[in-house]
A and B are shown apart, each in its own frame.
Chain A
Amino acid sequence: MGTVIGIWIAAGLTLCIYSFLYKDNPFYKFAEHLFVGVSAGYTIAITWHKVVTRLIWSPMKDDGNFAVLIPAAIGLLMFSRFIPKYRWLIRWPMGFMIGVGAGAAIPRTMQSLIFEQAGATLQPFTTINSIVITIGVLCTLIYFFFSVEHKGPVGVVSKVGTFFLMVSFGAAFGYTIMARISLLIGRVYFLLHDWLHIAQ
């Protein structure tokens, strides 16, 4: 019974949101705001049960590991943004997180996103594809180099880069349409199969 009621509620909310396609209306606004509220409530409950209790409360209670209070105290400083006089304290947790992130990123990004990618580009010209790839990467990189005016030979090369970019954006647009239609198919399938039972 709970499943049937749930499906009807889900279908009703789905149709409320689709009513926006005709025009903005109170049903759509209600569903939109309900979604915002429920999502926020979901984050609160999941963060408490599956993160805070696991990573902060449990280590203290079950393992006697009170060292977790140190990062917890630093994290609590994030709430200082609500007290104007002590707002500057938020720099500590932010600085810590960004420092760790920046330090971790530099060598790893350099190795995997620059050296590996450059290495994959600079391959022997054994096939036409390898020639096209090398030309494409170099021309597109030159297109993005705005310190030199795009005139003469640089202009020609950056124009070639533009063509490669247009192919890429066209592919992305085609795939974007595919993605959006897929999401619509998912919802319509739910309405026709799970709710109305008229689709296979």
Chain B
Amino acid sequence: MIVQFFVPHPPFTNMYNVLLDWTIIIGIFALVIGLSSLIKLHYTRIVRKTPDLPYSIVVFVGMVGMALVGLIRGVDEGTWFEWLFTNVQVPMQATMFSLLAFFIASAAYRAFRARTVDATLMLVTAVLIMFARVPIGRFLWEGIMPDSVVQWWANPPGDIADWLLNVPSMAARRAILLGVSLGAIATALKIILGIERSYMGAGE
């Protein structure tokens, strides 16, 4: 794979294509392996008759029902599978993640304190971004300020937020990206050279 990057010609390109095709096919089995942990967990709960047994049955009913509907009747447009996906999976998955809105508001109220200079800087930036990156930032500026001021500077909250995102925040993110990338390359090299073998199982 490394050689193909520098020599993008046959036979290296042919080998590159074959390796990618094989990796993609092997990856299919990795998708299904992930389900085994789930099945094992809930099967154990049912066998041991834990208090959550009824809910584990719900998991199996949902899994087997959805899988059978899809496997037997197909997964394309207009099928029962698509109907179940649209009216059961989509709303539940979307709602599950939307719960976080309440918890993040509660967490911001309880924990976000300007205790130190660093925390104050973080808090001020967060508040400015929240204010400026939605329509109300400019709406209030144009509503409160006299026309002459608005003509001189149309959208200071937006402009300051843009600067924060494109300059200091971007600089910090770039540094993090550089550090993470160097670490990823070091790990990849260690794997290739056989120094890092934890992916094969610790100590084996």
A and B touching (C-beta < 8 Å)?
yes
Residues of A within 8 A of B (CB): 2, 5-7, 9-11, 13-14, 17-18, 20-21, 29-52, 55-56, 68, 70-72, 74-76, 78-79, 81-82, 88, 91, 93-110, 113-114, 117-118, 120-121, 129, 132-138, 140-141, 143-144, 161-178, 180-181, 183-184, 186-187, 190
Residues of chain B lying within 8 A (CB to CB) of residue A14: 91-92, 95
- Interface residues in B37-83 (C-beta closer than 8 Å to A): 38, 52, 55-56, 58-71, 74-75, 81, 83
- Interface residues in B121-143 (C-beta closer than 8 Å to A): 121-130, 133-134
B148 at the interface (CB under 8 A from A): no
Cα distance A30–B124 in the bound complex, in angstroms:
41
Residues of B within 8 A of A (CB): 1-2, 5-6, 19-33, 35-36, 38, 52, 55-56, 58-71, 74-75, 81, 83-102, 104-105, 108, 118-119, 121-130, 133-134, 163-179, 181-182, 184-185, 187-189, 191-192, 199-201, 204
Contact call B26/A97, Cβ cutoff below 8 A = yes
Contact call A187/B92, Cβ cutoff below 8 A = no
Cα distance A186–B98 in the bound complex, in angstroms:
8
Cα distance A109–B177 in the bound complex, in angstroms:
11
Contact call B95/A136, Cβ cutoff below 8 A = no
Residues of chain B lying within 8 A (CB to CB) of residue A178: 129-130, 133-134
Cα distance A167–B173 in the bound complex, in angstroms:
10
Contact call B104/A7, Cβ cutoff below 8 A = no
Contact call B23/A97, Cβ cutoff below 8 A = yes
Residues of chain A lying within 8 A (CB to CB) of residue B96: 17, 32, 35
**B80 → A minimal CB distance (Å):** 10
Residues of chain B lying within 8 A (CB to CB) of residue A94: 199-200
With A38-B66, A38-B89 in contact, do A170 and B101 touch (Cβ < 8 Å)? no
Contact call B167/A174, Cβ cutoff below 8 A = no
**A74 → B minimal CB distance (Å):** 5
With A102-B188, A110-B185 in contact, do A39 and B26 touch (Cβ < 8 Å)? no
Cα distance A113–B177 in the bound complex, in angstroms:
7
Contact call B28/A91, Cβ cutoff below 8 A = no
Contact call B69/A166, Cβ cutoff below 8 A = no
Contact call A34/B94, Cβ cutoff below 8 A = no
Contact call A41/B67, Cβ cutoff below 8 A = yes
Cα distance A185–B21 in the bound complex, in angstroms:
41
Contact call A29/B2, Cβ cutoff below 8 A = no
Extra pairs beyond A13-B92, A29-B55, A170-B122 (9, CB < 8 Å): A17-B95, A40-B63, A94-B200, A100-B19, A103-B192, A117-B177, A132-B167, A144-B179, A167-B164
Contact call B167/A136, Cβ cutoff below 8 A = yes
Cα distance A60–B200 in the bound complex, in angstroms:
31
Cα distance A2–B187 in the bound complex, in angstroms:
52
Residues of chain B lying within 8 A (CB to CB) of residue A117: 174, 177-178, 181
Residues of chain B lying within 8 A (CB to CB) of residue A35: 62, 88-89, 92-93, 96
Closest B residue to A136 using CB positions:
B171
Contact call A48/B71, Cβ cutoff below 8 A = yes
Cα distance A93–B21 in the bound complex, in angstroms:
13
Show 10 residue pairs from A and B whose CB-CB distance is below 8 angstroms, ordered by the A residue: A6-B83, A10-B88, A37-B65, A55-B28, A71-B21, A113-B178, A121-B171, A136-B174, A137-B175, A167-B168
Select which of B29, B61, B123, B189 is within 8 A of A37 by beta carbon.
B61
Contact call B20/A167, Cβ cutoff below 8 A = no
Contact call B58/A167, Cβ cutoff below 8 A = no
Cα distance A74–B119 in the bound complex, in angstroms:
52
Residues of chain A lying within 8 A (CB to CB) of residue B31: 43, 47, 51
Select which of B98, B101, B105, B185 is within 8 A of A106 by beta carbon.
B185
Residues of chain B lying within 8 A (CB to CB) of residue A136: 167-168, 170-172, 174-175
